[in-house]
Amino acid sequence: MYGNNLTKKCVFSRNYLVISGKKLIFAENFLKTSDMTINHRLRILFLVMMSLASLQVSAQTPLCKDTAEHHRLQEAMWNCCSQDSPDVLYQACVAFQNHARADKDMFSAYTAWVCGVMYNLGRMNIQDAYHITQVMKEDIKSTDENSEESYFVPNMMGHVYNTCGNIPGALEEFQKSVELIKGTKYEKDGLAFIYLALAHVQLNNNLQETLHWIDVVMQVLEQHHDSWNYYRAMADAYAIKAIAEFKLHRYDAFHECMLQAEEANRKNESPSSDLFVPYANVYQTLLNGDTGKALEEAEALSNKKERYLVKCDIYRYIGDNDKAFMTQRELMQKCDSITGVMIAENIGQMEHDIQMIKKQQKMARVMNVILSVVVVLSLLFILLLHRNIFLRRRYNKKLKAKNEELREANRRVMAADEMKTEFIRTMSHEIRTPLNIINGFSQILTGDENELESEERKNIAKTISDSTHQITSLVNKMQALVNMNIDNLQTMVEEINPSEVCQRAILSMPDTDPEVIKVVFDDQTNQDGQKLTTNRDSLLQMLGNLLENAVKFTEQGQITLTLKHDKTHFHFTIEDTGCGIPADKIDTIFKRFTKVDEFKEGLGLGLAYCSETAEKLGGSLTLDKTSDEGTAFTLSLPIQIKVNK
């Protein structure tokens, strides 16, 4: 049985070779006597060798430019597809292929292979169609592996896979064919039909995908309106869409698509070559109410698989589910048997491939051993060389690191010296001014010759008090800055009432005229009794610095201290209506000795102290907003500080 199948599958090649030249007549006798001995591997090799030999014979034919003869042979070949005799078809294919090769028309020559493939697929002779496709593949490779006609191979394989029910394989092959045909001279006339094949694959699998591919076909046809296949492709596209609409029970849409298909078919110069219009006509007959005629038309379809599928749709439409099931079952059994035979035939080739792979692996292992020895010796040499280089580099690296440490230490010393100089200069200026004020007014108050009014004495006393407060504030800031660098603030924490600390900070802030600047404390904690564990003095100093800055830069308006908390942090927000912070100072306001306004009193240490202290206490100080309408800072501290041991 196996030998008979193999001989049958070689029929096309046998006839092709015999007709191609009398020198190859021995192939017939060879095939007839090889029923029980020829195997899959030898058969494929034989087919390829004989096809290549036949190419040489046909190449010796005198060149022929007879267009009429070309069309006659081509028409005869395709007309043979409706006959049941494969020998007659193969003779017509060989005659047309020889003529096309003599004319160096490779596209037409490969079309002869296509005719043989499609003839066998129409009769579900999938094995024959598959092997003809493989011979066509070798034919194209032997001529020009990168030829523009190479899209034929995946195109035919897609039809083979579709016929035997391998939907994923069919989709993959058709996609390959699309990529190969794009950019070639065949794109204009052939691309739309590959997309039609993709739509056909999904017709009994995913109707939405079918409609999607039909839309793609329409887009391609719109780009290639001058294609000689334009109306043929248009008619087939509307025919497939009509069948999809029928399967979706959208019968009005079906009739509309059929009208468009008929309109395109009237303009088609070769309506006999339509692929899908005859199928759609069967469904139209069914919807017209003539079930018997529809079944007769379905039985007359040239493609056996489509015959089964259309009859299944007819039986489902009329409600005869039993016949629909039996028809579907018969089709599945036929596909399964064909697939099983193909798998069995491929096992021999797979075994041969496995043996070849094993030999290659053995050779690879030997080469790997040799390569490993060479690599090991090379590595030893590289390691010795690397060790020498490494020792030199390590010495140089250490030397560079020491030099860099010395340069860094020198930079730190110079920076510290500059900071010390700047600090002394700033301190001298900031302390000298209030001291001069105190000294001058003290002399006025103690002088015998000066008799001052009571109001003047009060103003002088207030000025002296403000200057004293300024000096005290400067000293406190310096002391706090020193303590921050010396003390571990996290070990000096206690549980405090943040609301009380806020009130103390407000009482300690510089005096302001309530008529000009209003100071507001907004306690949003609702007095819920939540305590804060932190360093009391540091918090009081930070709030004092922030409030003092707000007074310093607010000439009129309001200063608001807002207290609130969430699950993990207390938030102290100090907002004023002052002049704001210049844009070029925003990035440096938290650095030491940075002053927003050089003409304002202060050392430029307040915000730096607040930011550094907040971080040491596990919190943060952020600038929420600043503009010419005011500034807002938020000091956030954790409710329960995490002590770093």
Per-residue confidence (pLDDT) for residue 77, from 0 to 100? 84
Question: Do the beta carbons of residue 474 and residue 498 sit within 8 Å?
Answer: no
**String of b and e for 150-173 (b: at least 16 CB within 10 Å)?**
bbbbbbbbbbbbbbbbbeebbbeb
3-state class of 575 per DSSP?
Answer: strand
Q: Where are the alpha helices (DSSP H) in 33-163?
A: 40-59, 67-79, 86-102, 106-122, 126-144, 152-163
Per-residue confidence (pLDDT) for residue 7, from 0 to 100? 37
Q: Output 155 or 459, whichever has higher pLDDT.
A: 155
Per-residue confidence (pLDDT) for residue 49, from 0 to 100? 37
pLDDT at 193 over 80: yes
- What is the tens place of the pLDDT at every residue in 331-374? 776 665 555 555 545 545 566 677 788 888 889 989 999 999 99
Question: Do the beta carbons of residue 132 and residue 12 sit within 8 Å?
Answer: yes
CA–CA separation, 640 and 645 (whole Å) = 15
- What is the tens place of the pLDDT at every residue in 403-452? 888 888 888 888 767 766 766 666 666 677 777 777 777 777 776 556 66
Per-residue confidence (pLDDT) for residue 427, from 0 to 100? 63
Q: Output 422 or 257, whichever has higher pLDDT.
A: 257
pLDDT at 295 over 80: yes
| Phi, psi of 69, deg, nearest 5 | -65, -35
Pairing of strands 517-523, 557-565: parallel
- 482 CB burial (10 A radius; 0-12, 13-18, 19+): exposed
Residue 476 tokens, joined: 């406190």
- What is the tens place of the pLDDT at every residue in 613-639? 888 888 999 988 888 788 999 999 998
Q: What stretch of H or E contains 447?
A: none
Domains, the chain, ordered by start: 1-145 (no CATH), 488-638 (3.30.565.10)
Closest C-alpha to 478, from 606, 588, 616: 606
Per-residue confidence (pLDDT) for residue 417, from 0 to 100? 72
Question: Do the beta carbons of residue 576 and residue 553 sit within 8 Å?
Answer: yes
**Three-state secondary structure along 532-548?**
EEECHHHHHHHHHHHHH
Residue 245 tokens, joined: 């609409």
For the chain, the average pLDDT equals: 77
- Secondary-structure percent of the chain, ordered helix, strand, coil, rounded to 5: 70, 5, 20
pLDDT at 62 over 90: no
Question: Do the beta carbons of residue 501 and residue 633 sit within 8 Å?
Answer: no
pLDDT confidence of 575, banded at 50, 70, 90? very high
- What is the tens place of the pLDDT at every residue in 73-98? 888 887 887 777 788 888 888 888 88
CA–CA separation, 168 and 201 (whole Å) = 9
pLDDT at 572 over 90: yes
pLDDT at 6 over 50: no
